[in-house]
Amino acid sequence: MRHLRSAFLSSGLVMFCALWADALRGADTPLACVDELAFPVFRKATAYYLPAEARVSVKLGPVHGEQSVTLDPPDTPVRLDLMEAFATKTRYSPSCKGKTLIFLVRYLVEGEPTMFPAWEVRFRVPNEVLVVTHPIIGGVN
């Protein structure tokens, strides 16, 4: 019975994600052009530069899989994380060739202090990605 319940929950989650993705395809959000989004990560070394914010522009090329990514500011301390997520790992829809997608990515520190980095990623419609961590006890933030 436990496996059956797990399978039901898994299929329900897949169905929800598919319906959500279909709904976003018609929406005015950059996610409408994303087939698979790799969220930026939080690295321990990143904590020295928090909070941080960057505007990520993704220009989708005429050939599927070709895109150029620019950051504003270009020298943001989270540049490597953002380039890895948006230029290398994220997969964009071939139906959006030629479009420019804009994401605002904010790295924040909030909540109760913890011994180790505990982070999560949130998405706010239409285009904001929040990478949130707690203050680190004995850390720099």
pLDDT tier at 6, thresholds 50, 70, 90: very low
C-alpha R_g of the chain: 17
In whole angstroms, what is the distance from residue 44 CA to residue 52 CA? 14
33 in any annotated domain: yes
In whole angstroms, what is the distance from residue 109 CA to residue 47 CA? 9
CB 38 within 8 A of CB 90: yes
pTM for the structure as a whole: 0.73
84 in any annotated domain: yes
CATH number at residue 84: 3.30.2420
> How many domains, in total, are found in the chain?
1
Q: What is the mean pLDDT of the segment spanning 89-93? A: 93
57 in any annotated domain: yes
